[in-house]
Amino acid sequence: MIDINGVTMTFERDGVPFTAVEDIDLTIADGEFASIIGPSGCGKTTLLKIIAGLVTPTAGTVTVDGNVIDGPGPERALVFQNFVLLPWASVLDNAAFGLEARGVAKEERRRIAREQLAKMGLSGFEQHYPRELSGGMQQRVGIARALAVDPSNLLMDEPFGALDALTRQLMQKDLLDLWEEAEARTAAFVTHSMDEAVYLSDRIVLMNTRPGRIEEIIEVPFPRENRADVVSQADYNEFTRYLWSRLEGMQRADMDTRGADG
């Protein structure tokens, strides 16, 4: 479970204080898949980094699985937008890297990494370097690396943002399948894509800019089991139309304030 309480993050940017996120309250329940979506600059990535413990908020606390965090912890794992694999290490060593960081013995971590890679359909690529893999395959390694440490909370920062549309759809489906078979695991998923958020999440957290804040939290009104068929339903169209109107409104308002500023 992830419990965010009154979190504010202020940076100093060119000597001017800049509030990335302000007074965020959000609880993501055990086993829940929550997407965080909003126009660029709404602080969604900052919020995810705060949950990951990579950034310390100026005010407020984050409680994960009952403990107030003050840095990264073994109950969380992060998947990065640009994969962030070690270019000099094999796919196997990359997938095992989280375990290595946590001091798991070599045989053990390789066994686990091999298992995770197999689940991601990467058997046979263990000895390749990341650059020899496509973007989609590289992100599969990134996901395998995160799942290898068996985190109860999976944090993903636009993990499919750098992939082409087709690869993206395939990855979404595979992630959902992995999700279904995993035991109760909590997910915070930052995305730009409305469809992706609707397809994957139990709840969608809409964030707005200047300062970054939560605008609305929306339950996805479709059962997760047959999400794949959801596209044909009229309800889906109505739901996405609503989501889109909210996002469009925020994006336009943000453009207007920027225009007024400059």
| Interior angle at CA 79, CA 75 and CA 83, nearest 5 | 145
Task: State which of residues 29, 61, 67, 72 lies at the interface with other proteins (CB under 8 A).
Answer: 72
- Is the preceding omega at residue 211 within 30 degrees of 0, hence cis? yes
117-156 mask for other proteins (x: CB under 8 A)? ----------xxx-xx----------------x-------
| Minimum separation from the CB atom of position 160 to other proteins (A) | 17
Token pair recorded at residue 42: 């709404």
| Minimum separation from the CB atom of position 185 to other proteins (A) | 17
For residues 75 and 202, which CB has a smaller minimum distance to other proteins in the complex? 75
- List beta partners, residue 18: 11
* First and final C-alpha spacing in the chain: 42
The verdict on 86 binding other proteins (CB under 8 A) reads yes
Candidate ranges 5-13, 39-47, 68-76, 200-208; the one touching other proteins (CB under 8 A): 68-76
Candidate ranges 10-18, 61-69, 93-101, 216-224; the one touching other proteins (CB under 8 A): 93-101
Residue 108 near residue 161 (C-beta atoms within 8 A)? no
The values of phi and psi at residue 42, to 5°, are -85, 0
Kind of pairing, strands 76-79 and 153-157?
Answer: parallel
| Minimum separation from the CB atom of position 102 to other proteins (A) | 6
- Residues with Cβ within 8 Å of residue 211, at least 6 apart in sequence: 19, 20, 21, 22, 43
The verdict on 162 binding other proteins (CB under 8 A) reads no
For residues 25 and 132, which CB has a smaller minimum distance to other proteins in the complex? 132
| Minimum separation from the CB atom of position 110 to other proteins (A) | 10
The verdict on 47 binding other proteins (CB under 8 A) reads no
Task: State which of residues 70, 106, 237, 256 lies at the interface with other proteins (CB under 8 A).
Answer: 106
For residues 72 and 221, which CB has a smaller minimum distance to other proteins in the complex? 72
| Minimum separation from the CB atom of position 92 to other proteins (A) | 9
Name the one residue in this structure whose structure tokens are 């939560």: 214
Question: Burial code of 207-242, b = ≥16 C-beta within 10 A, e = fewer?
Answer: bbbbbbbbbeebebebeeeebeebeeeeebeebeee
Task: State which of residues 73, 135, 161, 211 lies at the interface with other proteins (CB under 8 A).
Answer: 73
Q: Please spell the DSSP secondary structure of 196-241, one letter per residue.
A: HHHHH-SEEEEEETTTBEEEEEEE--S-STTGGGGGG-HHHHHHHH
For residues 105 and 228, which CB has a smaller minimum distance to other proteins in the complex? 105
Number of residues that bind other proteins (CB under 8 A): 30
**Nearest by Cα to 54 from 38, 77, 23:** 77
Q: Which residues bind other proteins (CB under 8 A)?
A: 52-54, 72-74, 76-78, 80, 82, 84, 86-90, 93, 97-98, 100-102, 106, 127-129, 131-132, 149
